[in-house]
Amino acid sequence: MSKPEITVIDYGIGNLFSVQGALEHCGANVRMSSSAADIVDAERLLLPGVGAFADGMQGLRNRGLIEPLLRFAATGRPLLGICLGMQMLATASEEFGEHEGLGLIPGRVKQVPARTVTGESHKIPHIGWSEISPAPGADWSGTMLQDTAAGTPVYLVHSFHLVPDSPAHLLADCGYGGHRVTAAVCSGAILGAQFHPEKSGKEGLKMLSAFLRL
């Protein structure tokens, strides 16, 4: 049986080698690329990223990759954004000003609340392991979480999260200081994970394997 093919977008921002290693461990043929043609022709696509929203969008813009990425998304083939890559799927971000996103998941990137629900300050960024749960009404079947149990811990490092306009696009969330924080979003074949599956142990590899089967 042939290996699943996946193209990882290299736009100058992202922990590419850990993502590549995890995908190869899951049996994928991985292509790292900054080529518009490679993106449009990909079997499935992964948009990684760490750092600031504006820098990520500028990295895509400088390489002429926004239009090819939108063309790919319109085909209905699987697309996964991880961490900053998920946030850039949004319409806009409030991080260090107002910045336009890809608009693939209608919604805004907002700061994780700096205080708990009882008013106490807590650490921002939100770093560490948190258990994810299905959002109200969410169905994990047919997504990267289809083999994942509710309550599975995943690894996060973030100060902002994508708040979808429609609750139907919220796939999973996690708790932080009593708040519900977005952990994953989905719109058709477009998926986003705020957490790092490549750093989330065996359960994270199960998620990537499930994505490779989509």
Q: Which domains does the chain have, with CATH numbers?
A: 5-213 (3.40.50.880)
Q: Find all residues with CB under 8 Å of 58, minimum gap 6, and list them.
A: none
- What is the identity of the amino acid at 24? E
Dist CA 105 CA 94 (whole Å): 15
pTM: 0.95
Going by pLDDT thresholds of 50, 70 and 90, the confidence category of residue 2 is: confident
pLDDT value at residue 193:
98
Query: Is pLDDT above 90 for 32?
Result: yes
CA distance 91 to 162: 9
What is the per-residue pLDDT for 192? 98
Structure tokens at 147: 């083999």
Positions marked catalytic:
83, 196, 198
